[in-house]
Amino acid sequence: MALISPKKLQQAETAPRTVTVLGATGSIGRNTVDLLARNRERFQVVALTAGSNVKLLAEQARLLEPQLAIIGDPDKLGNLRDAMQGTAVEVMAGEVAVIEAASWPADIVVAGIVGAAGLRPTLAASRQGSIVAIANKECLVCAGDLVLAEVERSGAVLLPVDSEHNAIFQVFEAGNAAEVERLILTASGGPFRSWTLEQMASATPAQAVAHPNWDMGRKISVDSATMMNKGLELIEATYLFPVATEQIEVLVHPQSVVHSMVAYVDGSVIAQMGTPDMRTPIAYTLSWPERMAAPAKRLNLAEIGQLSFEEPDFMRFPALTLARATLTHGNGSTAILNSANEVAVAGFLDGQI
C-alpha cells in the first residue's frame, strides 16, 4: 500500500505553516519544539500537548505561544492553568482534550506520542486533512489500515518521521515505485548488539536505555535493545511504502550514519545519510517538499573513517522474526504483538521483569 499522497504537494504557500505537536515534551516533541523555536517566522503553533509534564509543557508554551496547551493527565489542569497565568494560551486537560487538539485545523500535526496511546489523537489528526508527520509508529503497527483509511478519506498526507522511513521517503522521491527492488532498513543493533543471550538475561533497564547513538525516550530505547524497534519498523514500512514485505530487509549498521537505503532494478542503491539527530528527519517533514536548515552536527565521513554492516542475528534478536511472522497473519497479529510488547517493556522498565 502506498500511502504518501502527493495531494498537498502543489499547494502554494505564503503564510506561515500552522503546526500542532502531540507529545511535545517527549524526545521527538522536544526536537520538534527546538526547530519551531528556531524558525518562528515560518511556523505558527496551534497546539502543544503532553502526558503529564506540566513544567516543561508550560515552558514550551511560553516560548512558542500556541493557541492551546493540553495536558493529558486530568488532575494537572489546575497546575497547568497556574503555570500559564498571564498568557493568552488556552489550557485544557484529559484524553478527550488531547484528541480535540489533534483535530483542530493545522497544516501539520506531529504525531509524537509514544505507544498505542497515540492512536486516537493520530486518527483525529488524520481526519482533519493536514500533513501528519508520524513518529508514533505503534499506531501504524496496531491499526495501520485504520490510519491509512482516514488519511485517504480526508486527503491528508502521511510523512514519516522515523529516521529510516524518512530516509526511504527521501530516496523514494528520487525514483519510481515500480523501479524499486528492495528497501534496506538499517539498524544500529542497539546497546546489546554484541552481548550473549546469557548477558542479556540479566540486563538492567539502565543498560537497555543507554543507546550507543541515539538519545530517545525510554520505551523506544528498550525496543532498540531487543531490536523489537526494527520489527515494528518493518511493519511500519509495509504501511508507508508500496512494496511487499519480502522486499524489505534489515541490515545492522552500528554507526547509524546510513539511515536506510532503496535498491532499484538497475542495481543502483541509494542511501540517505547524516549524523544521528532526529531534527534532520523532523525538519524534512516540517518543510516538505522543501528543505529547511537544521542544526544537526554535520557528517564528516573522514572523521568517522569506516562504516560497517552485518546481517542481523535472528537467534539473539527473535523479535525480528516475530514481527515478520505477524505480517503474514494479518492486522490483528501486529496489534497483539504491539500490545504484548508495550506491556512487557513497561514491566521491564518497572523492575517487574
Please say whether the beta carbons of 157 and 10 come within 8 A. no
Task: Kindly tell me which residue out of 4, 28, 124, 228 binds ligand NAD, with binding defined by CB under 6 A.
Answer: 28
Which stretch in 110-118, 234-242, 298-306, 311-319 sits in contact with ligand NAD by CB under 6 A?
110-118
Task: Kindly tell me which residue out of 18, 136, 226, 285 binds ligand NAD, with binding defined by CB under 6 A.
Answer: 136
Q: Which three cell numbers stand for residue 180?
A: 524499486
Q: Cα(62)–Cα(83) distance, rounded to whole angstroms? A: 9
Q: Which three cell numbers stand for residue 162?
A: 522515523
Does residue number 25 form part of the binding site for ligand NAD (CB under 6 A)?
yes
Q: H-helix or E-strand containing 101? A: helix 95-103
Residue 7 or 55 with smaller CB distance to ligand NAD: 55
Contact mark string toward ligand NAD, 252..291, x via CB under 6 A: --------------------------x-------------
Q: Which residues sit opposite 271 in a β-bridge?
A: 261
Please say whether the beta carbons of 269 and 181 come within 8 A. no
Residue 280 touches which of ligand NAD, Mg ion, none (CB < 5 to 8 A by kind)?
none
Residue 60 or 229 with smaller CB distance to Mg ion: 229
Which of 303, 307, 248 lies closest to 273, judged by CA? 307
- Taking residue 174's Cβ as centre, other Cβ atoms within 10 Å add up to 11
Which stretch in 56-64, 139-147, 158-166, 195-203 sits in contact with Mg ion by CB under 5 A?
158-166
Does residue number 277 form part of the binding site for Mg ion (CB under 5 A)?
no
Q: Are strands 131-134 and 180-187 parallel, antiparallel or unpaired?
A: unpaired
Task: Kindly tell me which residue out of 162, 223, 277, 342 binds Mg ion, with binding defined by CB under 5 A.
Answer: 162
Which stretch in 9-17, 145-153, 198-206, 216-224 sits in contact with ligand NAD by CB under 6 A?
216-224
